Amino acid sequence: MNLRPHAIGHEMLCLRIDDRGAVDDGMALKLNGARRLTIEGLGRFEGLEWIGRVHVRKRRLCPKPGYAAVAAINAAINAVAKAFAGEGIKDGVQVNSVSPGAVMTGRRQSFFEKWAPAHNLTVEEAIKQFPEQAGISRLGKPEEIADLMSYLVPPAAKWMTGASIRMDGGEIKGI
C-alpha cells in the first residue's frame, strides 16, 4: 500500500478530512497486512530446519514533514517485525527488517513522472537532481537490495534475527 500520494507534501495535521480517511485506511491496511502475512507465515514454518522472514521498510528514520504518515506506519511495522523475531526464535524462524533508501524502481519512475512537472522539471532533471538533494551519490538498484536480502538467508546470516538494516547509499548516517 502506497501512502505517499495521500501524504507527500502535506503535514499530517493539515490534511482534509477525506484525505485523513484515506491515510487511516492505508495505514491500517499496511500494518495489518504485514502482521497477518507474518502470522500466517510463522504457522507454515513449523518443522522446517530453517526459514527466514524479511520485512522491507523505509522512511521510518529521520522523516521529513511530508513523510510523517509513512514514517509512523513503517516504524510500527518494524516494531511488529522485532516482536515476531522474539516469537520466531522458539521455532527457529528468523525475522529481520530491511529499510531500503531511494531505489530506482518502476514505482519511483512513476513518482518522478508525476512530481517533476509539478516542480517545473523534466523527469530526467528530477532523477538527476534527486541524489544530490538526498545526500547520496546515486539512486540504488533493486538488485542491490536483493543482494542484501539474499545475504540474510542462511547460511550467511543464520545467527541474525530481530535486526533492522538500513541500505540507502549513506542518506541516513548510522548503523
- pLDDT for 64-80, tens place per residue? 666 777 777 788 888 88
State pLDDT tens for residues 81-134: 888 898 888 888 888 888 899 999 999 999 999 999 999 999 999 999 999 999
Where is average pLDDT lowest: 12-26, 93-107, 155-169? 12-26
Packing angle, helices 17-44 and 68-91, rounded to 10: 10
Residue 154 φ then ψ, to 5°:
-55, 155
**What is the three-class DSSP state of 59?**
coil
Looking at residue 123, what is its pLDDT? 97
Architecture of domain 4-103+140-167: 3-Layer(aba) Sandwich (3.40)
% pLDDT > 90, the chain:
36
> Contact, 166 vs 174, CB < 8 A?
yes
Domain ranges for the chain: 4-103+140-167
Alpha helices (runs of H) in the chain, residue ranges in sequence order: 4-7, 17-44, 68-91, 106-118, 123-134, 142-151
Comparing 42 with 6, the larger pLDDT belongs to: 42
Quickly state the pLDDT bin for 154 (edges 50, 70, 90): confident
> Contact, 69 vs 6, CB < 8 A?
yes
% pLDDT > 70, the chain:
67
Comparing 28 with 165, the larger pLDDT belongs to: 165
All three cell numbers of 141 = 538498484
Residues composing the chain: 175
Quickly state the pLDDT bin for 60 (edges 50, 70, 90): very low
pTM for this predicted structure? 0.67
